[in-house]
Amino acid sequence: MLKNLAIPIMALSLVAAPILSPRAFALPHLVVAQQTQDISGWNNTQWGMTYEEIRALYPVGILQPNHGTSDFANHTLFDGFALGESRYRVEFHFGRSGTLESAILRWDQSGASPSQELLNALIAKYGQPGDNSIPSVGMARKVWNLPSTKISLIIVNRPDGQSVNLAYRRQTIMNSI
């Protein structure tokens, strides 16, 4: 079982109510309300932390500039993060202000694919993903949009095996649509 996922539990409740909130879905005489606990970071990090604060928590590498290849000013890597039976490379991305904007876990392809175990753990914590798409053949994308964090699980089947990436990104107006 995954112990280090550090994701709060999503509660679904059935409530009889005549008024619908924006987060409710009407059924004949019931309202299913989605009450999502927010997370504002990944694991024990928080959005807005500096490189020095991240380095105090993880044995990360040297801060590397992205040279215009992404929306982030720079990033750093931490190899060997254990999640369940699998190991991951964690990429911490920092915005132009120098603060944490995302954490991306990339499976190192050792052992059996963790994709189903990760998906089951995320569904148990957050419910079904809001975006459950297949953008191209051999690829699956699952997305959970929380108030402060967008979580994406991307699974790509390749001839040489499977690629599994789990991204936690600071929620902004641009990535919430």
pLDDT in tens, 92-149: 988 888 899 999 999 988 778 899 999 999 999 888 999 888 888 889 999 999 999 9
Q: What is the 3-state secondary structure (H, E, C) of the chain?
A: CCCCCCCCCCEEEEECCCCCCCCEEECCCCEEEEECCCCCCCCCCCCCCEHHHHHHHCCCCCCEECCCCCCCCEEEEEEEEEECCEEEEEEEEECCCCEEEEEEEEECCCCCCCHHHHHHHHHHHHCCCCEEECCCCCEEEEEEECCCEEEEEEEEEECCEEEEEEEEEECCCCCCC
Question: Is the per-residue pLDDT at 28 higher than 70?
Answer: no
pTM above 0.85, yes or no: no
Question: Is the per-residue pLDDT at 158 higher than 70?
Answer: yes
Pick from 21-35, 128-142, 150-164: least confident: 21-35
